[in-house]
Structures are given as C-alpha cells and as structure tokens.
Amino acid sequence: MKALSQKRRHPLAAIALLLMGLLLTGGLYAIATSVNQAKADTTSFSASDVEEGGKLFAANCATCHGMGASGTQDGPSLVGVGAAAVDFQVGTGRMPMQMNGPQAQKKPVQFNDEQTKQLSAYVASLGAGPAIPEEHLLDEKGDAAKGGELFRVNCAMCHNAAAAGGALTRGKFAPGLADVTGKHIYEAMATGPQNMPVFNDSNVTPEDKRDIITFLKTIEANGSPGGAELGSLGPVAEGLFVWVAGLGVIIAFTIWLTSRTS
C-alpha cells in the first residue's frame, strides 16, 4: 500500500493520466466517427461507373479540382465529400460553375443522370463520405408536423419560415426550396453546400430529414391559404404593400372628395 501511494504521488502520474484520458477520448471519437460514416456509405457503384466517372472528371472537373480531385487554388479537394455532394452539385447544375462569384448559381444541368452517377461514383471511390439517400427516405410520407418543427428550429433562420429563401452576407443567399427534389434537399442537409451547415445523422437523423422533406413538399402542394403570398417574405413585404395600397386609397379618396366639393 505504501509503494502504491508513492506511485500515485509521483510527479509524472498526472501527465500519464492526462495522456491516458486523451487516448481514450480520441479512440472513442474515432469509433463514433467511423460508425456514422459507415451508415452514410450505403450506395454502391460498379467498377465501370468509377472508371467512366474518372474520365468525365479529368475532362470536365480537373481544371479546378485537380487530377485525383486533390484540389487547386481554384477549387477545393473533393476527397471525402462523398457521392451525395457530387450528385447535388452536378444534379442541380451548380457544377461546373459558370463563373466565379460569392456562391455557385443553380442553372441547367450539364450532365445527364447516368453521367452524374458516374461522377458521383468516382468521387466516392476517393474517400468515404455521405452517400446518395435511399428511396424510402424520399417517399414524402414522413411526419409533416414534426418536419415543420425541425425546419423552423434548424433552417428557417436562413431559408425563411415558408422556405422562400433569404439574403445572407456578402452577396450570398439561401435559395428558396420550392421545386427542389426531395433527393437534393436531403443531400444538401447531409453535405452542407455553399454556406449551409452540415446536418449529419448525429444531429438530424435520416428519419428527421425525411420528415423535413415531407413538410416542405406539403406546404409546396398546399400553396398559400391566406391569399397572395407577396413573396412569402414576412411582415416587411406585407407592411410595404399595406402602406403603398393604403396610401394610394387615401390619396384617391382625397382627390375624389375635393372634386365633389368644388
């Protein structure tokens, strides 16, 4: 007991305990990360998809992203971004970029579905990352009420409570979510394109993402029950309309009233 007590008071004991704690924490973090990543990597591609995707990448993407997608001063590395990131960026026409700017603009797609799949396969082969979501998560049959609550907590501060979009800093913006496919909404949440944060499966589960998609598609299908949307921009647009219309009515009434008295 005396020898054990002396070892506990050894000046290096605290350092040894600290190192043991760091190693244990790092090990647990690595295990948790690998588990989450393994859940994301559910999409499989054929060897021919990877090969053809590599050819497409070299011809169309390597100028900015570098050979092997290692990145250049004109474009970031794509190693580890996953198939979902490529499917979103290419499938919405944001990539290849038309011009440099605060953020990539949505435009007509440059590749067909098969080519997009092949590019996704090639990038996915370079490193583990979020996969293209499975079909059952995109069936729009989740809980719309829960999805609305999740959307208002996590998304409405940028995309607007009605998903109409909104302005951000330095020329950037959060786009409106009408007419966006459920797959691309899911992929955006999983990969965090542009200025959007990443909502991985640890903080927004796949079922939660399904609920959010259901909510967005529900409000898109139902339209505006209150009449004219006025851009769904909230009280500023509504107040401006009331001010302009109300002022116009007052002026018109004043002109009519004075013309009668004369």
**pLDDT tens figures, 128-178:** 899 999 999 999 999 999 999 999 999 999 998 889 888 888 889 999 999
**pLDDT (0 to 100) of residue 247:** 86
**What CATH code is assigned to 43-129?**
1.10.760.10
Q: What is the mean pLDDT of the chain?
A: 85
Task: For residue range 43-88, list pLDDT tens digits in order.
Answer: 478 999 999 999 999 999 999 999 999 999 989 999 999 999 999 9
pLDDT band at 262 (very low <50, low <70, confident <90, very high): low
Prediction pTM value: 0.73
Burial of 125 (0-12, 13-18, 19+ CB in 10 A): middle
10 marked ligand binding residue = no
Contact 53/123 with Cβ under 8 angstroms? yes
Residue 64, annotated ligand binder?
Answer: yes
Q: Is 184 annotated as a binding residue?
A: no
Distance, first Cα to last Cα, the chain: 112
Neighbours of 250 (CB within 10 A): 10
Answer yes or no: is 155 a known binding residue: yes
Query: The domain 133-248: what is its CATH number?
Result: 1.10.760
Q: Using CA atoms, how far apart are residues 202 and 145, in angstroms rounded to an integer?
A: 21
Q: What is the pLDDT of residue 40?
A: 39
> Given its phi and psi angles, is residue 32 left (phi above 0), alpha (psi -120 to 50 degrees) or beta?
alpha
159 annotated as ligand-binding:
yes
Q: What is the pLDDT of residue 39?
A: 42
Q: Tell me if 136 is assigned to a ligand binding site.
A: no
Residue 157, C-beta contacts closer than 8 angstroms, at least 6 positions apart = none
